[in-house]
Copies of this chain bind each other. A is one copy, B any other.
Amino acid sequence: MDKPAAPTPPEALAPSYPPDSVGLVTTRLLTLGPERPLRLESGATLSPVTIAYETYGELNAARDNAVLVCHALSGSAHAAGFHGTGAHEKPGWWELMIGPGKAIDTTRWFVISSNFLGSCYGTTGPTSTDPATGRPWGIRFPVFSIRDMVEVQRLLLDELGIERLLAVVGGSMGGMQALQWGISHPARVAGVIPVATAAGMSAQGIAFNEVARRAIIGDPLWHAGGYDEGDPPVHGLSLARMIGHITYLSEEAMHRKFGRRRLAEGTGAFFGREFEVEDYLRAQGDKFVRRFDANTYLYLTRAMDSFDLVADHGSLQNAFAGCTASFLVVSFRSDWLFPPALSQAIVQALKRSGHDVAYANLESDQGHDAFLLPGNRLGDLLSGFLARLHERSRS
C-alpha cells in the first residue's frame, strides 16, 4: 500500500530565483502583417513576419539605455532569466552576463534580445507556416542573410520605439549581426561589440559547415528537404551538431575535460562508446535533435558562410567607412573556429579608418565557447564599455 503523499512544501511552490537574475520571463511575439512585407536581400518578399523577443530592465525616459543582444547559431530570444520554476526552469543562454548587477546590468540597461530571422524559436523561418500552402515552408523558405536578420531587428526596434541603441552585442554569428548593425544603421547605434566573430568565416569554418550540411542532406530521412515533422533526419542533424561541438571547444579544453579517459563501464561492442569524449559528443548530438530543425541548420550555416564584408564592400576599410559607433572587439586566445587573427583584421581596418576601437584578445583555454562561459574577463569589458558609452552619450 502506498504511503499518503507528503504535502508539497511551500518553498516548492514559490519560485525562488538568484538575486542577480531577472527571474521569470516570457518570450513575446510581434507580428508584422501583410501591410508591412519584408523585402529580403535576395529580392524575395516575406509576409507576415513574426518576431520572437524578450526584454529585461526598463527603457529610461531619455530612451538612451537600450542594448540589443544578438544570439548565435542555435540560440533563441531567451537570453536571460528563467522560463519556469523548479525542475522546469530554463535559464537564458547568457544568464551569466545579463541581470541585476551583472555585466549587462538590467538595473541600468534595457536589454532587448530577439530571435533572428530564419530560426526555429519563434521568429519566422523554415519551420513557420507558408501562408500560400498552409504547410511549413521547409526548403521553400527564401534565402536570407545576416543583413536580413538585422533588418528584422530594426523593425522590432521601430515597433518598440527605440530610435538609437546604446549598444549592440553578440558572439559568433551574433557578432556578425553586431558588425552589420554598425554598417547598416550607423545613426542608430552608439556602440558595437562583436565577440568571437569575423567579417567572414575562414575556409576551414566553411568546410566544417559544409560537412554538417552534407550530413543532413545525405540523410535519407531528409527527403529532399520535405521530411515529416515527426520523422526528421536526426542522424544527419546529430552529426552536424557533433562536428559543431568539436569546433566550439579547444583541444586544451577537451583534453582537460576528457583526456583519454575511458568509460567506466565498457559497452562491450567494439564500435560502441569507449572514451568519455565519445559519450559527451553523442549526448550533445542526441540533445540537439530534440530541440532543433534540420532545414533551419542548413539555412543558418549558409547565412553564416555567406557573410562577407570584404566581398560586399571591396575591403574591410570600405565596409566600416560610414560607421560612427565606438567598437569593442573581443576574441579568445584558444578560439580556433573564429581565430583572433580574424578579429584583429577587423580592428586594423577600423583603426585605419580612424574609428574609436578597443580590442582584447582574452586569455581562455575554452575555445570558441568561451564567450558563453565564466572564467574570462569578457564581463568586465562589457560593463566598462557600456558605462563609458552612456557617459559619453550624455556629455
Contact = CB atoms under 8 A, between A and B. Distances in A.
Interface in A271-301: 271, 274-275, 277-278, 281-282, 285, 298
Contacts of A275: 203, 206, 210, 305
A210 B302 contact: no
Given A243-B243, A305-B275, A254 B203 contact: yes
A298 B278 contact: no
A254 B306 contact: no
Contacts of A208: 246
A351 interface: no
Interface residues of A, number: 51
A305 B207 contact: no
B235 A202 contact: no
A257 B242 CA distance: 26
A242 B213 CA distance: 12
A81 interface: no
A203 B257 contact: yes
Interface in A121-175: 139, 143
Contact of A277 (B207, B239, B254): B207
A260 B217 contact: no
A204 B246 contact: yes
A251 interface: yes
A111 B391 CA distance: 74
A218 interface: yes
A203 B251 contact: yes
Given A239-B211, A271-B139, A206 B305 contact: no
A211 B243 contact: yes
Interface in A303-349: 305-306, 308, 310-311, 336, 339
Contacts of A257: 203
B215 A215 contact: yes
A12 to B, nearest CB: 39
Contacts of A28: none
A202 B282 CA distance: 18
A83 interface: no
B311 A260 contact: yes
A210 B298 contact: no
B271 A204 contact: no
A270 B143 contact: yes
A249 B206 CA distance: 14
A336 B251 contact: yes
A37 interface: no
Contacts of A277: 203, 206-207, 210
Contact of A242 (B214, B238, B305): B214
A220 B217 contact: no
Given A203-B277, A214-B282, 19 more contacts: A139-B270, A143-B270, A201-B260, A203-B258, A203-B275, A204-B246, A204-B249, A204-B251, A206-B277, A207-B281, A210-B242, A214-B239, A214-B242, A214-B285, A218-B235, A219-B235, A251-B336, A260-B308, A336-B336
Closest 5 CB pairs of A and B: A203-B254, A218-B235, A210-B278, A204-B251, A203-B258
Interface of A: 139, 143, 200-204, 206-208, 210-211, 213-215, 217-220, 235, 238-239, 242-243, 246, 249, 251, 254-255, 257-260, 270-271, 274-275, 277-278, 281-282, 285, 298, 302, 305-306, 308, 310-311, 336, 339
